[in-house]
Structure 1
């Protein structure tokens, strides 16, 4: 319920102080006129009807193209429709539209604003009005005015504001999504999973999108108000905000801070002093709150999954269905050649010589929308990538690129389709160098985009999207043209036995096939290096060089083992191992190469909630967090840390000076949820033997509203 305040004078709505708000015509005086006393925005009913419950306690939040109601209450006398006309005015910056209030039997244009009174909604001292925006209205915070006019005078009232969002529930909206289970997952759900690691050992990290946390919707609206487009031309920006293609490009650029007052600053190497390590974030709300409270200084630091998850939050808040997607073995092809070169020494060591790169995983966002600018064939999921890699029209952003355009190789489809296509389907050319000369070459058409994953709708299992990006023709091309680990007379393949875990040996098999009719003497060079998911390898931590004798047409399988003692001292929780084998014919100098990259499964952190994972808001519960040392040696200065936005204040730690093999460290914390929805408890384990976090644990908590 809103008490009408004195009206503030604004040039575009001709309002005056509440006590003197009457405009007289021809000197006539209006006596006994009705006066507006209160406005009830019916927020509870409107938010249920518009699927916007919980998005804001400060604003009425509704979706475009669907009527919402509010009730006017009068004092003095009731409104008389026979002698007084009633009109509404919606204002957006310097734009405004006056809407005459009609009775329900009058037809209205669905592409225009309308305001109606239905039978039974008029009472002696009040009237309920249903206002409906055009289906392609701009996403923004609007001002609402009420005008009561007779032939003698006009009284105007500024009655409040409302937020208008896109409407995936409405068939005529360009973001319409038919299935309820998809709308629940891609609009309403505040919880998701991000897939990371390598295609051999996929890890999943929960993320709290946090669109129902206080202040998140307001932060998203503020983001729209400080974009370069809005600051340079408010009028044009407001009009273009009706288009989700435009919105998505603008928001995508604002998630990184490279060109504007954007949310996140990226950092991929070196010290993270002065900020938060990207791995330590678990939700978008904290990032958005920090950005707003710092007067839009960039939050430090983000990497691809942080950029993508924050973008997903903003898009869901604005009403555009969105999901976070991971590409395993994603290519960064800066020169648009659709080829990425990798260099290896003749002894199997990977060299940092390439201008382009392959990330073990890369995370972006898919948004659902029609593409009237391209035609119906390009409707559906569109790739948006806010990680600042390459510029699009002079700004660090990428997309929206239709997934179907990537699959069908329609490189002319805007925006940035060739770059996205290369990310999932570029060829890798692996070159073996000896004394600066190329002595071996292999083309791998299968490595890039091996798997493309997102969280399934309605469950925590992954959905494989690879087929939506890669056509059958592309698959046939890869099957027939790949030369990985082959030459005319020699073939090699490298395979890992299972998924290696901390504390256990890494076992691998090198299979060599002699396709010639002669016996051969070969040299096997096998090399292992640690690397981060998005960078080149570090120095080798294990290598072997061995002479091998092979008979004509023989197939040899060579087994090798890396014991834990060889890697535990340098292992960091998120590191990848690059393993490469070079087989050399001693006589002919012929060389062939094969590679594998994988992450080592780290020990698990166990999190248990007393009484189960569904808790009630504002009730105390106990969570027990534990970590067991699975390493083969004792760990010094062990620290187990627990935190959880909306469940805990700050970080809670347990410390042990010495954690022996097989021993467990435990931390109990008391949690209390401050708001309903899905919350995450996050736990990390580190020790003095390693400079980084060794293991991470996450636990999903479902919070019911207070009774």
Structure 2
């Protein structure tokens, strides 16, 4: 007579607490691989030890197969092991309640499983038959940074709390002299996020059997975060300044709102730029159990031809030539993920760089990484994946070329230290900036750093030409230094200093061009051009200054509010040429955000107050505030139907209703036609 399960208790609360998954809003069994899951089964009659047997099955994917590792038949044993799925059982005194202790392998496939209970019994004729019972409850298995046998194991508790469990953070933007911390709501425990992450993995090019491998999973997610491959990815990138039909990237405060929109429509969400892609990747990786963080590289190079150099082109007057350059972004945000790399030589475990922003194809798809930071730092760019591209972003040498009257390109000089600086991520346990440049490169100009560059250059697409560039060391007897400052009101002062090192007079022809610029380094509208001649006496130091007032240029800028200034100085007597480029970005003040009380109640409306003083000497129009944060109503938008004059204050109260309890952070952003990317936040406690 067969036996059948009549009740199954997954001990959801107990298991989720032990597996560190109790913060997920999604209901159901969410467990981590390599760790015991407790399940109690009540049978309709006692188990007969001599004749009855129970087996467990777990199945994942569309067509589960034992040969693919997507169908697992688990015999009940006497001990648990990490290298395969195992289970033990306890039987109560009357034989009808069995408690199973199931341990998924530490390298189990990550995803959603169906669980089956097979009951084997002996018929009256003495034959063995079985009944297969499918459990209604699904079991989700995640990566496990707490398990030493898991490839994503992260031993430090503080690091796990930050890079896996923290659902808010900071993403750094701006430029190297004006770094701004942008609050971001990762929201990896939100009800929609885990389903979205598993859906994207299922929709990706990666077969289910590869979902056990964090290297391949993170690479697939870097492709699915963007939509460039026609694969139905989450976000569409847009750097045009025209965001009709979607949302400006500066209006996103977090990842949850975009994933809700994506999962509702199953259509790509518009629009994103690098920090949005990075925020999304941090969310997705943390949700499935891969430690992750957003990382910002300032003066970040984009090497379009894998030459390992960053090529800038100017005409004979020093004016930048559009559509020829490798761009140098004021900042670029990507991600790091933490796991072991058994596919690489020993020593390359730990942080790996991945990038979801669509820049260059990798194996015919818009994805990047994971690349070992150890490999990048040492110049071992032949190690997969895409270490060559990321190396150039942080440590490529910038070469300036002049197109002469015969359309020949003449190398003017090489700057070995002008890209990749102040590489930043959020510090553990605070909202401060942590500088991690040392993880990507040796000290600038050191022998180890130059050796890494030369080692990497052996894999350049222009290897033969590079050898002559590294010997480029033109003779010069005038030192130049170009710099500038942007005032809080938007006025800019440029400074060019020329220092003669010779006992002869020198005549210097100077040309300078100011252009509107996207943060990606792409030039927009030319704002001004200036030429002059500087006469230097022997050994003389001279400095020239120029000023541009905000009101003369601000309305011509993109919402990035960035100006690029190019300067060329030619010494008539020697032919020495100096070129440089500086970018200037408005130092955007934080919004002042407060609430009526630090302690709020679930489902009770309250108000958040936003204050902002317009610092620039330009009137702000078409203003919109956006509010977001964990435990809140989603993504509240508030249009402001008035302009803000220079030095005028905006004060606005926004009603909202908290939905979930806990310590939370309310985030507010402000966008206007003239200025965007303004943010503020306030920490609150929401009680039942």
Please report the TM-score for the alignment, with normalisation by the length of structure 1: 0.86
1:624 matched residue in structure 2: 609
1:666 matched residue in structure 2: 651
CA separation in 1, counterparts of 2:356 and 2:616?
38
CA separation in 2, counterparts of 1:486 and 1:354?
24
Cα distance, 1:668–1:157 mapped onto 2, change above 3 Å: same
Between 1:421-430 and 1:521-530, the stretch displaced more is 521-530
1:328 and 1:448 in contact (8 A); partners too: yes
Q: Does 1:111 align with 2:111?
A: no
Q: Does 1:50 align with 2:50?
A: no
- For residue 648 of structure 1, report the CA deviation from its aligned partner: 4.0
Q: Does 1:99 align with 2:74?
A: yes
Give runs of aligned pairs for residues 620-699 of structure 1, distance below 5 A: 620-632=605-617, 635=619, 637=621, 639-644=623-628, 646-648=631-633, 651-653=636-638, 655=640, 657=642, 659-676=644-661, 678-686=664-672, 691-694=673-676, 696-699=678-681
Cα distance, 1:702–1:180 mapped onto 2, change above 3 Å: farther
Cα distance, 1:256–1:438 mapped onto 2, change above 3 Å: closer
- For residue 485 of structure 1, report the CA deviation from its aligned partner: 12
1:288 counterpart (256, 259, 267) = 259
| CA deviation string 1:447-489 (max 9, x = no partner) | 1102211111211111111111112486447789999998512
| CA deviation string 1:76-115 (max 9, x = no partner) | x34444542222111224232222334xxx2344322222
2:463 matched residue in structure 1: none
Q: Does 1:267 align with 2:238?
A: yes
2:132 matched residue in structure 1: 156
Cα distance, 1:409–1:662 mapped onto 2, change above 3 Å: closer
Between 1:452-461 and 1:56-65, the stretch displaced more is 56-65
CA separation in 1, counterparts of 2:242 and 2:224?
24
1:25 matched residue in structure 2: none
Q: Does 1:183 align with 2:160?
A: yes
Q: Does 1:416 align with 2:386?
A: yes
Cα distance, 1:683–1:355 mapped onto 2, change above 3 Å: closer
Cα distance, 1:384–1:351 mapped onto 2, change above 3 Å: same
RMSD: 2.8
SS of aligned partner of 1:597? strand
Cα distance, 1:484–1:217 mapped onto 2, change above 3 Å: farther
Cα distance, 1:475–1:192 mapped onto 2, change above 3 Å: farther
1:41 matched residue in structure 2: 10
1:342 and 1:353 in contact (8 A); partners too: no
- For residue 629 of structure 1, report the CA deviation from its aligned partner: 2.7
CA separation in 2, counterparts of 1:58 and 1:428?
52
Gaps of 5+ in 2: 66-70, 124-128, 452-468
2:525 matched residue in structure 1: 539
CA separation in 2, counterparts of 1:208 and 1:426?
33
- For residue 132 of structure 1, report the CA deviation from its aligned partner: 0.7
CA separation in 1, counterparts of 2:562 and 2:655?
36
Gaps of 5+ in 1: 1-29, 230-236
CA separation in 2, counterparts of 1:45 and 1:369?
27
Please report the TM-score for the alignment, with normalisation by the length of structure 2: 0.88
- For residue 423 of structure 1, report the CA deviation from its aligned partner: 1.2
- For residue 131 of structure 1, report the CA deviation from its aligned partner: 0.7
2:33 counterpart (36, 44, 64) = 64
1:194 counterpart (142, 166, 171) = 171
2:118 and 2:131 in contact (8 A); partners too: yes
Give aligned pairs, total: 654
Between 1:425-434 and 1:663-672, the stretch displaced more is 425-434
SS of aligned partner of 1:553? coil
2:68 matched residue in structure 1: none
CA separation in 2, counterparts of 1:43 and 1:488?
73
CA separation in 1, counterparts of 2:502 and 2:411?
18
CA separation in 2, counterparts of 1:284 and 1:660?
33
Cα distance, 1:610–1:475 mapped onto 2, change above 3 Å: farther
1:351 and 1:537 in contact (8 A); partners too: no
